[in-house]
Structure 1
């Protein structure tokens, strides 16, 4: 006589009910009816030959045999689920290496959390992280140096680069020298940018076409140094106040300017399973 065969849905029902100890919550968790849960458990108990749960109108508890079965069955079931997940991941190309670029310390902090969530879901995929300047991101994506990048979305989208969901949205501020006449202002309307020279960080645009364009900096620290020496004002996202505090620069809120949105970008047509999985993990982390 062969061993009794336990179906997958029976195992899932048993383990779920062992955790919930409530037929209604188990049914909701498995997206089936309460009657289906009860029928499945009864069928399994008949196959095993003894009750697995003591149930009354007020509570549900595992019997000693039920506890033993769950204790011995759960690790084996988890091993089966892991093996199946690994096979699916390998077939979809989720394993391997994912190269992720980022811009600045604020993105770095977000990337730490997103990477942890991604590797919790897909532990066999290695994530290699690379820092880049804003102007470098498009070319590095196109060249395949990185698979995707976490950065501020450009105001003018590139048709050959796809965007994921907006993960962060922030207001804009002006970085001005502490000796600048605007240093003591509580805010500056964006329309007043036409009265001053505006420093631009390469790879970004000034949020008004009427501003007087000034020097172009290749790095954040270069741009802030230009602002600190009075060679112009610099438009940044509000995160700069936290991550780029300097004694020679102060930050003033910029009114009526469009917000800065941050998220993931990747080359069009190269949204691999790894890229999609990382984007989903990043969205989940930010919820």
Structure 2
């Protein structure tokens, strides 16, 4: 295209390629139609070929014009978004991010990212809050938090999913005296042999959350016995220790919820439990994207350290 082509000239070309009308293009960009015409002729002279076919009634892109539009448009959109983010961040000298989390290991990641965030943006603070399993997305939908770290999958109105931060193997939290507690691993089919303690399902709005954490059948279709229901997840380890049933958890839960009377056994054939970023579809504020980048960096660093620890063992 030539190094002398300026961003404003690209914008004029792309707008005309969309409007296919010199007057409307000029009106959108707050310039005169003669300015639009001058810029397009300048571009065509530089390239050595027409970009538009013009008649007294119509304006159409040539094949070369279509090719140039298709190649320039994605880059132009990225540049605009980058400038918008930089402008918003430059104006936002102080404020507070509200971040939601669902598990202690999500909270630890959040706090590490928060420390790095405050170092980069001294005028900003980060406030964390635990999200209850019985209202997993309400805080985000109501605008009470800007970002949430939660279990995937999530299909909820008004929410978009960001990157997956880490993936956790699953385990079965069992009473220590249950026969399966002596196994080195269990399978999903073994769930048919133990009652599953669950939250009161009528309080959980997300079908994806129910299917992930409280399945009712094994992969082969066997019924999974239903154990007692609880109103809070923190009641479940108590019920397991008392011998009332089992629960599917992230394997890392053994580091945070171990107690007498409980054993954690890996589930060999279960898909991982993935944790990622949730954002409001309407937009979450000027410094949310940098914070999400820090979450990804911290998560990648934690994964690398975990691998190094395993190698040292």
Q: If the TM-score is normalised by the length of the shorter chain, which range does it land in?
A: 0.5 to 0.7
**Aligned ranges 1:100-249 → 2 under 5 Å:** 100-153=99-152, 155-201=153-199, 203=204, 204-207=209-212, 208-210=215-217, 211-249=224-262
Checking the alignment, whether the CA contact within 8 Å between 1:206 and 1:235 is kept in structure 2 is no
Q: Counterpart of 1:230 in 2: which secondary structure?
A: coil
Cα shift at 1:100: 0.9
The match for 1:34 is none
The match for 2:284 is 271
Cα shift at 1:254: 0.9
Q: CA RMSD for the aligned pairs?
A: 2.3
CA distance, structure 1, for counterparts of residue 86 and residue 138 of structure 2: 33
Cα shift at 1:140: 1.2
Cα shift at 1:117: 1.8
After superposition, the Cα gap between the structure-2 partners of 1:133 and 1:248, relative to the gap in structure 1 and judged at 3 Å, is: same
TM-score (norm 1): 0.64
Cα shift at 1:99: 0.7
CA distance, structure 1, for counterparts of residue 147 and residue 158 of structure 2: 13
Q: Counterpart of 2:210 in 1: which secondary structure?
A: coil
TM-score (norm 2): 0.59
After superposition, the Cα gap between the structure-2 partners of 1:232 and 1:127, relative to the gap in structure 1 and judged at 3 Å, is: same
- Structure 1 runs (4+) greater than 6 angstroms displaced: none
The match for 2:272 is 259
Cα shift at 1:90: 4.3
The match for 1:284 is 297
Q: Counterpart of 2:248 in 1: which secondary structure?
A: strand
Gaps of 5+ in 1: 1-84
CA distance, structure 1, for counterparts of residue 173 and residue 93 of structure 2: 42
After superposition, the Cα gap between the structure-2 partners of 1:88 and 1:271, relative to the gap in structure 1 and judged at 3 Å, is: closer
Q: Counterpart of 1:163 in 2: which secondary structure?
A: strand
After superposition, the Cα gap between the structure-2 partners of 1:160 and 1:115, relative to the gap in structure 1 and judged at 3 Å, is: same
Checking the alignment, whether the CA contact within 8 Å between 2:154 and 2:161 is kept in structure 1 is no
The match for 2:303 is none
Q: Counterpart of 2:182 in 1: which secondary structure?
A: coil
More off after superposition, 204-213 vs 143-152 = 204-213
CA distance, structure 1, for counterparts of residue 227 and residue 96 of structure 2: 41
Higher strand share: 1
More off after superposition, 241-250 vs 131-140 = 131-140
CA distance, structure 1, for counterparts of residue 273 and residue 226 of structure 2: 20
The match for 2:38 is none
CA distance, structure 2, for counterparts of residue 173 and residue 129 of structure 1: 27
